[in-house]
Structure 1
Amino acid sequence: MIDEILSKAESEASLMLAGLGYADGRGALRNLRLLSGGPLSARLEAVVKLSLEAPSPDAALNNLESVVEGSGESVNALPYKELGELLFICGSSSFLSGILARNPGYTGWLFREALALSREAESLKIEIGERTRGLESIEEVSREIRLFKQKEYLRIGSRDLLRVADLKETTRELSDLASACLEAAVAFSVRHHKKTYGAPLYDDAEGGKKEAGFVVIGMGT
Structure 2
Amino acid sequence: MANGAPITARDLFLSRDLTEAEAHGYLAAHGFRDPATADELLQQLADDLPTRLALGELADLLIETLTEAADPDAAVAGFCRYVANRFPKSSFIGYLQDDPRTLQILTALLGASPLLGDILIRNPEHLHWLHRELDCPPPDLADYQAELNQLLAQDADAGRRLDMLKRFQRRETLRIAGRDLLEKDTLRSTTEQLSSLADVLAEGVLRAVRTAANEAGGEAYGSFAVIGMGRLGGRELSYSPDIRLACLYDPDDPADAAAEVHFRQLTHRLTAGLSETAGAGYRVEHGLQPPGSRAGGALTLEQGVRYCERAAGTDERLALINMRPIAGDPALARRFLERVRPIVFGARPDPTALDARNVRTGPAGSREVELFTRRLRLLHGARHPDLQDANTLAALAQLAASGLVAATVAEPLAEAYSFLRRLEHRLQIGGDGQAAVLPEDPAEVEIAARRMGFATSADLESALASHRSVVKEHCAGG
TM-score bracket, normalised by the shorter chain, equals 0.7 to 0.9
- Shift of the alpha carbon at 1:28? 1.2
How many angstroms apart in 2 are the aligned matches of 1:98 and 1:125? 26
Q: What is the identity, as a one-letter code, of the residue corresponding to 1:160?
A: D
Please, which moves more after superposition, 27-36 or 91-100? 27-36
Structure 1's 106 and 74: CA in aligned 2 closer, same or farther, altered over 3 A?
farther
From 184, 202, 208, the counterpart of 1:182:
202
Q: Which runs of 5+ in 1 are unaligned?
A: 202-211
From 18, 39, 57, the counterpart of 2:28:
18
How many angstroms apart in 2 are the aligned matches of 1:85 and 1:130? 28
What's the secondary structure of 2:225's corresponding residue?
A: coil
CA contact under 8 A between 1:14 and 1:29: conserved in structure 2? yes
1:4 partnered with 2:11: yes
- The residue aligned with 2:342 is none
Deviations 1:129-167 (A, max 9, x none): 3323433243x2221111001111111110000001111
TM-score (norm 1): 0.84
- The residue aligned with 1:216 is 226
1:135 partnered with 2:156: yes
Q: Give the percent of matched residue pairs that are identical in Structure 1 and Structure 2.
A: 28
With CA pairs under 8 Å and 6+ residues apart, which has the higher RCO, 1 or 2? 1
- The residue aligned with 2:95 is 77
- Shift of the alpha carbon at 1:77? 2.0
Deviations 1:152-184 (A, max 9, x none): 111111000000111111111111111111101
Structure 1's 218 and 83: CA in aligned 2 closer, same or farther, altered over 3 A?
same
- The residue aligned with 1:68 is 83
1:28 partnered with 2:43: no
1:147 partnered with 2:167: yes
How many angstroms apart in 2 are the aligned matches of 1:70 and 1:213? 48
- Shift of the alpha carbon at 1:94? 1.6
Deviations 1:53-100 (A, max 9, x none): 111111111111112122344564242233223211111112112111
From 135, 142, 157, the counterpart of 1:116:
135
How many angstroms apart in 2 are the aligned matches of 1:45 and 1:68? 17
CA contact under 8 A between 2:11 and 2:56: conserved in structure 1? no
1:172 partnered with 2:186: no
From 34, 38, 49, the counterpart of 2:64:
49
- The residue aligned with 1:204 is none
Structure 1's 82 and 195: CA in aligned 2 closer, same or farther, altered over 3 A?
closer
What's the secondary structure of 1:116's corresponding residue?
A: coil
1:92 partnered with 2:99: no
Please, which moves more after superposition, 45-54 or 79-88? 79-88
How many angstroms apart in 2 are the aligned matches of 1:153 and 1:75? 26
How many angstroms apart in 1 are the aligned matches of 2:223 and 2:56? 60
TM-score (norm 2): 0.41
Structure 1's 48 and 35: CA in aligned 2 closer, same or farther, altered over 3 A?
farther
> Which structure has the greater CA radius of gyration?
2
CA contact under 8 A between 2:24 and 2:35: conserved in structure 1? yes
Between the two proteins, the alignment pairs up a number of residues equal to 209
CA contact under 8 A between 2:66 and 2:107: conserved in structure 1? yes
- Shift of the alpha carbon at 1:199? 2.8
Structure 1's 29 and 48: CA in aligned 2 closer, same or farther, altered over 3 A?
same
Structure 1's 34 and 41: CA in aligned 2 closer, same or farther, altered over 3 A?
farther
- Shift of the alpha carbon at 1:14? 1.8
What's the secondary structure of 1:216's corresponding residue?
A: strand
How many angstroms apart in 2 are the aligned matches of 1:42 and 1:93? 27
How many angstroms apart in 1 are the aligned matches of 2:174 and 2:228? 25
Structure 1's 40 and 11: CA in aligned 2 closer, same or farther, altered over 3 A?
closer
